[in-house]
Amino acid sequence: MGLVVQKYGGSSVADAEGIKRVAKRIVDTKKDGHQVVVVVSAMGDTTDELIDLAEQVSPIPAGREFDMLLTAGERISMALLAMAIKNLGHEAQSFTGSQAGVITDSVHNKARIIDVTPGRIRTALDEGNIAIVAGFQGVSQDKKDITTLGRGGSDTTAVALAAALDAEVCEIYTDVDGVFTADPRVVKKAKKIDWISFEDMLELAASGSKVLLHRCVEYARRYNIPIHVRSSFSGLQGTWVSNEPQGAQKVEQAIISGVAHDTSEAKITVVGVPDKPGEAAAIFRAVADAEINIDMIVQNVSAASTGLTDISFTLPKAEGRKAIDELEKAKSAIGFDSLRYDDQIGKISLVGAGMKTNPGVTADFFKALSDAGVNIELISTSEIRISVVTRADDVNEAVRAVHTAFGLDSDSDEAVVYGGTGR
């Protein structure tokens, strides 16, 4: 029997009862003869509460201190989980990300893992322990400061450890039974997917399906680590994410894998940009130098009479303020008129490898949105995805309309959400 990495999300360890329930599950895996490494998230909404607290003290907290604060959440749950396992008569040791050998770059609040040296984890396992690792954190290679990997980053910790330890599988335990054709909190008739390719899962995750973080899927694809997403509240088989379906997962690749939505982004419009070479470069250089990732971009045709154009782009709401500040600083150098900020937007994406060979998909997608009376503000596409930006208020309705239009509604049980607040 091989080594298994299991990751338990915040909703699975929301309270003492949850921690005891998860401890029992981990012990059962160990009793089956596996070596077990567990990655654990902060309890319930602890991370959000810590962020709220920091904002009350300082509107833009220093990155280093912010990371120090946030990593405390995972340290609470790792220690409690190790205690609960010991209470069941099994040996367990907890480790911070740094102790577990998770080495990152030094970009606070969204560090990237650059190496994993899990020597202490190996030793703990060899001595018969269950190893519990605090998710979502590491230590920077150069400054040796504590870093965090960005929201949802425990998923990445789990896959990175699975790769470094050559695990058989990385199990991601959450509050739903797997990856569904849409968020079960929004679409009650969403269907559980038995198997999905890395490629489609990557697009779903990048488009806002937060059941898996996209960096985690990227990592799993690079090292070919199969992921099993399942519920910690039920004994059901979940969703396998891998290159090729195996055994019982032998299913046809669907034309459409699912519908994703995201309301965590905002839109900035740079108004009155001179229509000449170098302007877009200057705008996006200013944003990139502040380490801000942008998503969609549109540039309008310039009005011939003025020679001015508008450029809009979307970015995470959490970085909106920083982006505005950076652009204001560069305003006279770039020469635009003004900035508009809009955080009442939402994005809906349709994902599926079958899009490459089914030309009608785009037209059907737009038809479904228009039938639902949803106005489209921005559009972007890739080979296997179409995304649109709409008003935030329209998002849930639009997701349901598209899900139905593409025949994804299940006619059996409603999708179960076992816990969590959806925050």
Binding site for Mg ion (CB under 5 A): 9, 152
The position carrying tokens 């697009």 is 203
**Taking CB within 5 to 8 Å according to partner kind, which of ligand ADP, ligand ASP, Mg ion, none is near residue 183?**
ligand ADP
**Taking CB within 5 to 8 Å according to partner kind, which of ligand ADP, Mg ion, ligand ASP, none is near residue 151?**
ligand ASP
Give phi and psi for 90, each to the nearest 5: -120, 155
Q: With CB under 6 A, what is the number of residues at the site for ligand ASP?
A: 13
Alpha-carbon distance of 117 to 161, in angstroms, equals 9
CA distances from 248 to 131, 266, 344 (A): 30, 42, 43
Q: Which of 9, 63, 320, 352 binds ligand ADP (CB under 6 A)?
A: 9
The closest alpha carbon to 3, from 107, 125, 143, 132, belongs to 125
Alpha-carbon distance of 73 to 97, in angstroms, equals 12
CB atoms within 10 A of CB 54: 17
Q: Is 13 in the site for ligand ADP (CB under 6 A)?
A: no
The token pair at 207 is 């488009």
Please identify, among the stretches 13-21, 147-155, 202-210, 393-401, the one whose residues bind ligand ASP according to the rule CB under 6 A: 147-155
**Smallest distance, Å, CB 392 to ligand ASP?**
21
Nearer to ligand ASP, 136 or 173 (CB): 136
Q: Is 153 in the site for ligand ASP (CB under 6 A)?
A: yes
Cβ-proximal residues to 50 (8 Å cutoff; 6+ apart), any chain: 42, 69, 70, 72, 73
Q: Is 154 in the site for ligand ASP (CB under 6 A)?
A: yes
Alpha-carbon distance of 134 to 73, in angstroms, equals 9
Alpha-carbon distance of 89 to 383, in angstroms, equals 52
**Taking CB within 5 to 8 Å according to partner kind, which of Mg ion, ligand ASP, ligand ADP, none is near residue 135?**
ligand ASP
Scanning 32-135, the segments in alpha helix (DSSP H) are: 46-57, 63-87, 119-126
**Smallest distance, Å, CB 30 to ligand ASP?**
23
Q: Is 399 in the site for ligand ADP (CB under 6 A)?
A: no
**Taking CB within 5 to 8 Å according to partner kind, which of Mg ion, ligand ADP, ligand ASP, none is near residue 349?**
none
Is residue 176 within 8 Å of 211, Cβ to Cβ? yes
Q: Which of 25, 151, 189, 403 binds ligand ASP (CB under 6 A)?
A: 151
Nearer to Mg ion, 44 or 270 (CB): 44
Q: Is 42 in the site for ligand ASP (CB under 6 A)?
A: yes
Judged by the rule CB under 6 A, the positions of this chain that interact with ligand ASP are 9-10, 41-42, 47, 73, 135-136, 151-155
Where on the chain is the footprint of ligand ADP (CB under 6 A)? 9-12, 41, 152, 174-176, 179-180, 182-185, 209-211, 258, 417, 420, 422
